[in-house]
Copies of this chain bind each other. A is one copy, B any other.
């Protein structure tokens, strides 16, 4: 039976680890704050007291961490995965981080005789619980095939999009599209309200045509109702748009709308609303429209 070390048992990582247990893997979890390890134990997994202990003897090491420095630290830091894992171990990083960091870590792993895939996901907490995530995988084709049982245990749409870093690049494109579409839907909602039209009346007819989008389907009603309980936090999307604009700059790709969206998401974060759902970008648009709106207080954000 394949053994998996799972590092990072947060909102996304914990249900993914649980799904691996259910799929029959021997899963040993590690998290900086140990409370979440207990929940994995309750589901039939094991806990480890240290990263080294978790990685020891694992066939596969999975990571699901917040940002580039966390992943760099866990994989390449003192006492990290590269220092602890046996040669031949397959690393699968589910985190959303900078493509250049991924490529660098992948090269370090290769020099140490390890294999690494970048495998960022989309689909949110519900997708993680349901095992229905979309996974964008970068790395060698052979490693992708070796990872197949693990990936199938946590995701539904699984695509090998290219070499190391390509998964992160496609995830960056994903966040570009999601962030920009939220901004556009926010503009449309405020535009309609400013003309005295209830968005609830207009959204269905908009959603049925070429203007339709998953954001319009899943988020517009909550946005129009000023319900911003996350979901996906604005602070994380702000981080992701920093990755997108930096990667675009590096490649010489012009992303004018995204650069502007990044400014707006940054504004949402700067005013202290990073804990709200990213749909709260509507707040920035309505502020710019002189339309202050009694919305949810900040205490409504998830704890």
When chains A and B are docked, how far (Å) is the Cα of A172 from the Cα of B188?
9
A39 interface residue, CB < 8 Å from B?
Answer: no
- Tell me the smallest distance from the CB of A95 to a CB of chain B, in Å: 17
Contact of A254 among B161, B187, B253 (CB under 8 A): B187
- Tell me the smallest distance from the CB of A136 to a CB of chain B, in Å: 5
A302 interface residue, CB < 8 Å from B?
Answer: no
Q: How large is the interface on A (under 10, 10 to 19, 20 to 34, 35 or more residues)?
A: 35 or more
**B-facing mask of A29-55, CB < 8 A → 1, else 0?**
000000000000000000000000000
Per DSSP, chain A at the interface is helix
Contacts of A208 in B (CB 8 A): 134, 157
The answer to whether residues A184 and B188 also contact, given A166-B195, A254-B289 and a CB cut-off of 8 A, is no
In the complex, are the beta carbons of A196 and B260 less than 8 A apart? no
Stretch touching chain B among A6-14, A17-25, A75-83, A198-206: A198-206
A111 interface residue, CB < 8 Å from B?
Answer: no
**B-facing mask of A127-168, CB < 8 A → 1, else 0?**
000000011100000000000000000000101011001100
Most B-side CB within 10 Å, residue of A198, A256, A269: A256
- Tell me the smallest distance from the CB of A212 to a CB of chain B, in Å: 4
A169 interface residue, CB < 8 Å from B?
Answer: yes
A294 interface residue, CB < 8 Å from B?
Answer: no
A15 interface residue, CB < 8 Å from B?
Answer: no
A257 interface residue, CB < 8 Å from B?
Answer: yes
When chains A and B are docked, how far (Å) is the Cα of A164 from the Cα of B176?
35
A173 interface residue, CB < 8 Å from B?
Answer: yes
Residue of B nearest to A173 (CB): B188
8 A Cβ contacts from A221-271 to B: 242, 244-249, 251-264, 266-267, 269-271
When chains A and B are docked, how far (Å) is the Cα of A262 from the Cα of B262?
13
A183 interface residue, CB < 8 Å from B?
Answer: yes
Contact of A213 among B176, B198, B201, B213 (CB under 8 A): B213
What is the interface of chain A, defined by CB distance below 8 A to chain B?
A: 99, 122-124, 134-136, 157, 159, 161-162, 165-166, 169-170, 172-178, 180-181, 183-185, 187-188, 190-198, 201-202, 204-206, 208-216, 218-219, 242, 244-249, 251-264, 266-267, 269-272, 284-285, 287-291
